[in-house]
Amino acid sequence: MTHARIQNVASWIVSLEFLALGLLYLNAALFSAWMSGGPPNPYPHGWGRLATGQLSTSVASFVLAVASYKLVISLPAWRRAPIVLIVFALFLAIAPYVDRAVLHEQCASQKGEWSTLTLEFSIK
């Protein structure tokens, strides 16, 4: 196999792995969104926050699929577009955790009680 052929196969393999991961997170996000608004449950807001985080991770995986394809194809040169896409995907991946940390800090500053089940706080 030539170097270009190996590079092409590697780019497709990595991209397909990120696509599969994105589809798994999208499936989880759809289920969580359904649980948030579908059947009666005691934690609709928690399911909604979980769905938002999973959707963000799913989109990040899809963006990483495109970025990894472009990056592997362009090696050994480093192009700007794949790097920008990777940074954007990392931002999407950490955004739900930053949101949760901000909510947790708001809860602590207002002397509230944080619930890991509902992913929200209540003031005592």
Do residues 123 and 110 lie in contact, with contact meaning Cβ atoms separated by under 8 Å?
Answer: yes
Round the CA-based radius of gyration of the chain to a whole number and report it. Answer: 19
Cis amide prior to 44 (ω within 30 degrees): no
Distance CA 45, CA 106 (A): 17
The pLDDT score that the predictor gives to residue 74 is: 79
Split the chain (124 residues) into runs of 10 and give each run's mean pLDDT: 84 94 97 91 88 96 94 82 93 92 83 76 72
The pLDDT score that the predictor gives to residue 123 is: 73
The pLDDT score that the predictor gives to residue 66 is: 95
The pLDDT score that the predictor gives to residue 30 is: 97
The answer to whether the Cα torsion of 87, 89, 90, 95 is positive or negative is: positive
Helix, coil or strand: residue 41: coil
According to DSSP, the residues that pair with 114 across neighbouring strands are 121
DSSP annotation of 123: E
The pLDDT score that the predictor gives to residue 124 is: 66
Q: What is the pTM of this model?
A: 0.85
The pLDDT score that the predictor gives to residue 54 is: 96
Backbone phi and psi for residue 56, each to the nearest 5 degrees, phi listed first: -65, -40
